[in-house]
Chains A and B, each alone.
Chain A
Amino acid sequence: MLELRNIGLSLNGESGEAKEILRNINLTLEEGKLYGITGPNGGGKTSIAKVIMGIFSATQGQVLFNGEDITNLSITERARKGLAYAFQNPPRFKGIQVEEVMRIAKPGIDEMSIRGYLRDVGLCPEDYLARDLGANLSGGETKRLEVAQVLAKESQLTIFDEPEAGVDLWTIQKLINLIVTRHRGGANRTAVIISHNEQFLPVCDELVLVADGEIQEQGPTNAIWPLIRDDIICDCQIRNQCGGGFYEVQPS
C-alpha cells in the first residue's frame, strides 16, 4: 500500500552545509495494519513521516502509494490521494475556527459529525466548535484538535506524530482507544503512530525502530516490543547518553 524504497534525505543545517538525515530507508506499510515508529529524539522518525507526506522531498529513492510513484507529487496531491499527517507541533491560526478547519479536512461534513469527532478526542463541542485555532488553546487542546481533523479526513493512510505529546494522562488512553477503534473499524485503513509512549506502542501490529537516520529493527510488535520496552520505560540506555550500544536488551 505504501512503500519507501531506499529513501535518503539531506537537509541544509544552520551553517548551510547539507546534513544527512535519513539513509537507506526501506519500509513497506500494508493495508489495514497499525504501525508504531519509535526511537530516540532526532533519530529520523518525523523526517520519515514528512517524506511520506511530501513535506520533505527525498534526495534519493522512491515513495510508492498503491503502486503509484508519488515521489514528485506535492503535499496537496498526496493529501487528495489519501494520505494524512497529524503534526507533532500543530501550527496555530488567527481567525480560523475549529468548525472551519474540520470542514477543510472533510468537505461536506455535517455539524453532527464534527461534534462527534470533537467528543471522540474529549473536547466538548459547545465549547470548541467556534473557538479559534489560535494562541488561546493549550498545547494539549491543539493536539487533540489535530487528531480530530485527521480522523475526520478519513484517509487511507494516517500518520499520527506523537499524539500523546502535551496531552494529559487521562486523555492518552482515550486517544489510544480512539485510534485503535477507528483503525480496526473495518475500513481497511492504515495508521502509523510515531511515539515513545509505552501505552501506545504495544497496541500496534508492527513496530519500526529508527535511530541515526536508519531503520534499526522492524517486525511484529510481540518480537520488537520486548527489545525496546525497558529502554523506553527507564530511558537509560539511549546511545550517547550512557555510552552503550543502542537497545542492547536481549529478548527474554
Chain B
Amino acid sequence: MKYSPLDSKLLETIADLHGIPQGAFNIRKDGEGFRQSSANIEIIPKKDKPGIDIVVKPGTKDESVHIPVILTKSGLKDLVYNTFIIGEDADVTIIAGCGIHNSGEDVSEHDGIHEFFVKSGARLKYIERHYGQGDGTGRRVLNPTTIVTVENGAYVEMEMVQIKGVDNTVRNTDAFIHDRGALKIIERLLTHGEQEAVSNVTLNLLGLDASGQVLSRTVAQDNSNQLFKAALVGKNRCSGHVECDSIIMGAAQIRAIPGLTAESAEAVLTHEAAIGRIAGDQLIKLMTLGLDEQEAIDTILAAFLR
C-alpha cells in the first residue's frame, strides 16, 4: 500500500506514524484495511461486519499496535466494529485515531464502535486522536463508541483527544470495572467555528476496590458548543473521581454535567467542574516575558490541552 503525502500527513498527525510501523498494525484508508499481525498480537478481520478483532496473547509485554483510520473521500461514511481482547497479565499500548480530509461538499463520517476486554492483571494504554482538515464545505463527523470491560486487577488508561477540525462528534464511553480494576480516562477536546461536541462517559464501578477517574480538559472557541456528561456509578466499595475543566472563548457554549450515583455506603465518589475564560494574569505574565497577546493565548491553550 502506498501513501500519498496527504495520507502521510494525516497518519503523522493522528498516530505519530512515519511510514509502516513495526509490529502489529491495521491501517484503514477510505474503508479498506491494510494489516499485519505479530507473534503475540493477532489482527483478524471480522466476517460478519466491517472491523477487526485484535487479540493480544496473555503475558505479552511492551508491545504496541497502531490502528489508525483515514478518510480522504468526501461523502464517505465509514462504520467499523473493532474488538480488543487483551490477555491476562499483558502490558501493551494501542495507538488509534482518525483523520478526515474533506475537500468536497458532502459529509465525511467515521463511526467506530470499539469494545475492549482487558483480562485479569493486564495493563492497557489506549491513545485515540481525532483530527479533521480540508477546505470543502462538507462536514467532518466522528462518532466513537467505546465499551470497556476492566477485569479483576487490570489497569486501563485511555487518552482520547480531539485535536481540531471535527465539525460534529458524539462520543459515548461506557466502562465496567471489576474487583481491583482501575480505569483512567483523559479526554482533551478543542472545538472552534460552528462545531458541536457531545461526550457521554459512564463508569460503572462494579467490583470491590474498583477505581475510576475521568479527567476532561476542553477548549471551546468561536460559536462552538460542547456538552460533557460524566457519570460515576459506585456499586461496591470503590472510588471514583470526575474532573472537567474548560476554557471558554468568543461566543462558545459549554455545559458540563458530572453525575455521581452511589449504590454502596462504601463508595467514595467525587467531582470537580470549572469553566472559565483564560485568566488575565496568565496572559499578562507571558506578555512580560515577551510574547504578544495571541502568542500568549496560543501557548496557554496548547499547554492546557497537552
Q: In the complex, are the beta carbons of A76 and B281 less than 8 A apart?
A: no
Q: Is the CB–CB distance between A95 and B303 below 8 Å?
A: yes
B279 to chain A: which residues have CB within 8 Å?
Answer: 91
Q: How many A-B residue pairs have CB under 8 A?
A: 59
Docked CA distance A87–B288 (Å):
10
Contact flags A99-135 to B (C-beta < 8 A → 1, else 0):
0110011010000000000000000000000000000
A66-101 vs B, CB cutoff 8 Å, 1 = contact: the mask equals 000000001110011000110101110111110011
Residue-wise, chain B 71-98 has the 8 Å CB interface mask toward A (1 for contact) of: 0000000000000000000000000000
Q: 7 A-B Cβ contacts within 8 A?
A: A74-B292, A75-B284, A76-B293, A87-B288, A91-B282, A97-B303, A105-B289
Task: Check A153 for interface membership: any CB of B closer than 8 A.
Answer: yes
- Interface assignment of B300: CB less than 8 Å from any CB of chain A: yes
Q: A151 contacts the other chain (Cβ, under 8 Å)?
A: no
Neighbouring A residues of B293 by C-beta, 8 Å? 76
A46 at the interface (CB under 8 A from B): no
Known: A79-B290, A87-B281, A95-B304. 13 other contacts (CB 8 A): A53-B288, A75-B287, A79-B287, A91-B282, A91-B285, A94-B217, A95-B305, A96-B300, A97-B303, A104-B289, A104-B291, A105-B290, A107-B290
Q: Does B245 contact A (CB under 8 A)?
A: yes
Residues of B contacting A101 in the complex (Cβ-Cβ under 8 angstroms): 289
Known: A91-B281, A91-B282. A96 touches B299 (CB 8 A): yes
| Smallest beta-carbon distance B280→chain A, Å | 9
Question: Is the C-beta of B286 less than 8 angstroms from some C-beta in chain A?
Answer: yes
Question: In the complex, are the beta carbons of A153 and B289 less than 8 A apart?
Answer: yes
Name the one of A74, A84, A100, A107 contacting B303, with C-beta atoms under 8 angstroms: A100
A149 at the interface (CB under 8 A from B): yes
B306 within 8 A of A: yes
- Kindly provide the distance from the CB of A142 to the nearest chain B CB, expressed in whole angstroms: 11
Do B288 and A85 touch across chains, with their CB atoms under 8 A apart?
A: yes
Determine if B290 and A80 form an interchain contact, defined as CB atoms under 8 angstroms apart: yes
Instruction: Determine the chain B residues whose CB is within 8 A of the CB of A80 once the complex forms.
Output: 290
| Alpha-carbon separation in the docked complex, A145 to B45 (Å) | 54
Given A91-B281, A91-B282, A93-B282, A75–B303 Cβ distance below 8 Å? Answer: no
Taken together as a complex, chains A and B put the C-alpha atoms of A74 and B245 apart, in Å, by 31
**In the complex, what distance in Å separates the CA atom of A91 from the CA atom of B288?**
12
Chain B, residue nearest A159 (CB)? B288
Min distance, Cβ A92 to any Cβ of chain B, angstroms = 8
The count of chain B contact residues (Cβ–Cβ below 8 Å) is: 22
Known: A95-B306, A104-B299. A55 touches B284 (CB 8 A): yes
Do residues B285 and A74 form an inter-chain contact, with CB atoms below 8 A?
no
B residues 263-306 near A (Cβ < 8 Å) are 279, 281-282, 284-293, 299-300, 302-306
A75 B288 Cβ-Cβ under 8 A: yes
Contact with A along B254-265 (1 / 0, CB 8 A): 000000000000
- Kindly state the separation between the CA atoms of A151 and B300 in the bound complex, as whole angstroms: 22
Residues of B within 8 A of A (CB): 217, 245, 279, 281-282, 284-293, 299-300, 302-306
- Residues from chain A with a CB closer than 8 A to the CB of B299 are 96, 104
Query: In the bound complex, what is the Cα–Cα distance between A76 and B283 (angstroms)?
Result: 11
Contacts of B290 in A (CB 8 A): 76, 79-80, 104-105, 107, 153
Question: CB-nearest residue of chain A relative to B284?
Answer: A55
Q: Are A76 and B291 touching (Cβ within 8 A)?
A: yes
Q: How close is A66's CB to chain B, nearest CB, in angstroms?
A: 17
In contact, A149 and B282 (Cβ under 8 angstroms): no
Judging by beta carbons under 8 Å apart, are B300 and A84 in contact?
no
Q: Which chain B residues border A100 with CB–CB below 8 Å?
A: 303
In whole Å, how far is A85's beta carbon from the nearest beta carbon of chain B? 5
Q: Does B285 lie within 8 Å of A79, measured CB to CB? A: no
* C-alpha spacing A55/B287, complex, angstroms: 10
Chain A proximity of B218: nearest CB distance (Å): 12
Q: How far is the CA of A236 from the CA of B305 in the complex (A)?
A: 49
Say whether A96 contacts B303, CB under 8 Å: yes
Chain A positions within 8 Å of B302 at CB level = 95
Closest to B247 in A: A94
Q: Are B287 and A93 in contact (CB under 8 A)?
A: no
CB-CB nearest in chain A for B282: A91
Say yes or no: A74 contacts B287, CB within 8 Å. Answer: yes
Measured between C-beta atoms, what is the minimum distance from B52 to chain A in Å? 34
Which chain A residues border B291 with CB–CB below 8 Å?
Answer: 76, 104
Q: Which of B245, B292, B293 has the most CB of A within 10 A?
A: B292
CA distance A89 to B281 in the complex (A): 10
Measured in the bound complex, the distance between the Cα atoms of B299 and A90 in whole Å is 17
Closest A residue to B285 by beta carbon equals: A91
A93–B300 CB distance below 8 A: yes
